[in-house]
């Protein structure tokens, strides 16, 4: 199976040492911009748990700061090679900064979830490029359920520390997430040991979660989201991303919000999304 076939069938590929020093510098610059410019989505995602778990995403002001990582690295080419199609747009960014707690208590997992229930988009030509700035063992890394992008779309996770499966919408229109962590042996879980310069690329319908970060360690992760030709506006129970993806008075909205106005099933497009190739 070549990489494109693996991506289509399994929903994830690992690419070793594809980002050189310059590319990692551009990625870090983008990550640091997000750390110092919090948007509406900025949050200690799981308050009341050991360590820290900072995240932010979909800041509509990020596009200039993310231009180098999107245009001066091989990332767009890596993704279009998996899709087998030339067109690619940058959709949005997400950062994580997880620090293990004191007294040997790890920062908790990123709960199992899919990205698509949070987003008004669907299609085959979608990809998440996941970059860690620290080396990671497999048991501290991103975990994914192989092939899950071809199956059920679940409700999102509210990231509630009392129950990872607590639904984001809870309207019953999307089924509740299964408890993957309690039943790990029932799932085909894949993860990768990481060295800086490696990337994990996966489809955003994949069930995935992040392993705990152990005491004394920090994990800084940049997650970049892209779409291509066949991306369409998708129905979702409500407007989660619209609430997050704006800053200031709210007049400054993310292109995702405008793309959604095209209506369900329409091509997912807006001139605010940078077209990369």
Paired tokens of 107? 């920062």
The nearer residue to ligand AKG, 222 or 247, going by C-beta atoms, is: 222
Cβ proximity of 50 and 105 under 8 Å: yes
Cβ proximity of 245 and 92 under 8 Å: yes
**Rounded least distance, CB 130 to ligand AKG, Å:** 5
- Residue number of the CB closest to ligand AKG reads 210
Interatomic CA distance for residues 64 and 137, integer angstroms: 33
**Rounded least distance, CB 96 to ligand AKG, Å:** 5
The nearer residue to ligand AKG, 193 or 262, going by C-beta atoms, is: 193
**Rounded least distance, CB 119 to ligand AKG, Å:** 11
List contacts with ligand AKG (CB under 6 A): 94, 96, 110, 115, 128, 130, 142, 208, 210, 221, 223
The nearer residue to ligand AKG, 142 or 250, going by C-beta atoms, is: 142
The nearer residue to ligand AKG, 128 or 190, going by C-beta atoms, is: 128
Cβ proximity of 201 and 82 under 8 Å: yes
40 CB contacts (<8 Å, ≥6 apart)?
Answer: 59, 243, 244, 245, 246, 247
Interatomic CA distance for residues 96 and 52, integer angstroms: 10
**Rounded least distance, CB 129 to ligand AKG, Å:** 9
**Rounded least distance, CB 30 to ligand AKG, Å:** 14
The nearer residue to ligand AKG, 73 or 110, going by C-beta atoms, is: 110
Q: Where does residue 52 rank: exposed (0-12), middle (13-18), buried (19+ CB within 10 A)? A: middle
Cβ proximity of 160 and 49 under 8 Å: no
């Amino acid at each position: 199976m070549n990489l494109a076939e693996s991506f289509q069938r399994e929903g994830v590929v690992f690419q070793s040492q594809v980002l050189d020093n310059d590319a990692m510098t551009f990625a870090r610059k983008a990550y640091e911009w997000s750390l110092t410019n919090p948007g509406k989505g900025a949050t200690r995602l799981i308050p009341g748990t050991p360590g820290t778990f900072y995240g932010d995403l979909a800041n509509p002001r990020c596009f200039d700061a993310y231009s180098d990582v999107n245009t001066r690295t091989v990332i767009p080419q890596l993704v279009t090679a998996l899709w087998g199609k030339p067109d690619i747009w940058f959709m949005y960014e997400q950062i994580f900064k997880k620090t293990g707690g004191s007294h040997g208590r790890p920062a908790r997992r990123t709960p199992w979830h899919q990205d698509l229930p949070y987003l008004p988009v669907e299609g085959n030509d979608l990809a998440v490029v996941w970059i860690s700035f620290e080396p990671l063992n497999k048991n501290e890394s991103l975990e994914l359920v192989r092939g899950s992008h071809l199956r059920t779309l679940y409700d999102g996770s509210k990231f509630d520390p009392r129950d990872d499966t607590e639904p984001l919408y809870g309207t019953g229109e999307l089924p509740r997430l299964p408890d993957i962590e309690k039943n790990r042996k029932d799932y085909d879980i894949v993860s990768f040991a990481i060295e800086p310069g490696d990337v994990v690329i996966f489809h955003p319908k994949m069930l995935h979660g992040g392993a705990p970060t152990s005491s004394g360690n920090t994990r800084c992760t940049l997650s970049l989201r892209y779409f291509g030709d066949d991306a369409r506006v998708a129905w979702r129970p409500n407007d989660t991303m619209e609430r997050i993806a704006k800053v200031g008075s709210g007049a400054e909205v993310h292109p995702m919000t405008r793309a959604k106005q095209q209506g369900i099933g329409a091509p997912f497009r807006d001139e605010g999304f940078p077209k990369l190739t």
